[in-house]
Structure 1
Amino acid sequence: MDLFKDVVIDTNFFMIPFQLNVDVINELEKTLPSYRLTTTNFIIDELVGLSKNKKNKNRINAKLALKIANSPKIFKKNISLEDDESVDNALIRISQVLATNDKELRIKARKKGITVIYLRQKRYLSIDGHV
């Protein structure tokens, strides 16, 4: 059992600093100082894929997001996707607190009792649930 309470960070949350100019990592650290900012190898893999996609306009943002995800501020968990499991379903399986801006994922997570942190009005972190 982990000694830390984790905030699991989704791919799109790592992209916010470069899309909306909000330092969400710093804001998470201030808002939840007793939590460990965490991501998984499958989120890192997703960012790597986005950073290599020549047709994707977010390629540069993904490369920058990858630097944040790989920084010492973020704890990495080596968790694999189960057979035919989507990234969203894996995030729901492993999270108690999830940082995401994906509206459908937020709804699914809340239905499962997972606390969700998201960016509101393109400026403020909002927490839906108990921390």
Structure 2
Amino acid sequence: MTEKSNPRQIVLDTNFLLIPAQFGVDIFSEIDRVCAFRHKIAVMEGTLKELEHLAAMGTAPEKREARLAQGLVRSYRPKVIPMEGMDVDAALLELPPEEAIVATQDQALKRKLMERGIPLLVLRKEKHLELIGQ
């Protein structure tokens, strides 16, 4: 990827935003470490709604995790991608592989993304991130 090209979008799934609360991993520092190219953090519009739902209706631990994730979103101000009536997973599967990397821990979604050639960012050993399919 050349310097003049657009930054690659790293789209964070809901479960990925819960990693800091669940495992104490600074996902944003890890993204910068692993992705040594121009990138921009993004989330799907539905991800924000899922976090709101968890913060309001989840179990006590889910509420705490979701609120921490909401705070991170407010601090880092990612680009919000509209979804046009799709659910989050369907919208993630529609992303162009050459423009986006999806950060998720959802096993079924990871399989589908890999089948479509969309690169993944995943947590390994509950400590660090790894880029797959780049």
- TM-score, length of structure 2 as denominator length: 0.84
Code of the residue aligned with 2:126 in structure 1: it is: K
The alignment status of 1:10 with 2:13, answered yes or no, reads: yes
The alignment status of 1:30 with 2:33, answered yes or no, reads: yes
* 2:47 match: 43
Aligned counterpart in structure 1 of residue 68 of structure 2, from 41, 44, 64 = 64
- Contact persistence 1:41–1:76 (CA under 8 A): no
Residues 81-96 of structure 1 mapped to structure 2, 5 A cutoff:
81-82=84-85, 85-94=86-95, 96=100
Q: What do residues 49-106 of structure 1 show as CA deviations (whole Å, max 9, x unaligned)?
A: 11001545311110110111222x3422241243xx3311111112631001111111
Residues 54 and 117 of structure 1, relative CA distance in 2, 3 Å threshold: closer
Q: Distance in 2 between matches of 1:54 and 1:104?
A: 22
Residues 56 and 80 of structure 1, relative CA distance in 2, 3 Å threshold: farther
Q: Distance in 2 between matches of 1:111 and 1:43?
A: 22
Unmatched tracts of structure 1, length 5 or more = none
- TM-score, length of structure 1 as denominator length: 0.86
Aligned counterpart in structure 1 of residue 122 of structure 2, from 103, 114, 118 = 118
- Contact persistence 2:34–2:131 (CA under 8 A): no
Give the root-mean-square deviation of aligned CA atoms.
1.8
Residues 94 and 57 of structure 1, relative CA distance in 2, 3 Å threshold: same
Residues 123 and 54 of structure 1, relative CA distance in 2, 3 Å threshold: closer
* Percentage identity across paired residues of the two chains: 27
**Structure 1 residue 48, shift from structure 2 partner:** 0.7
Find the residue that maps to 2:18 and give its secondary structure: helix
- Contact persistence 2:42–2:81 (CA under 8 A): no
Unmatched tracts of structure 2, length 5 or more = none
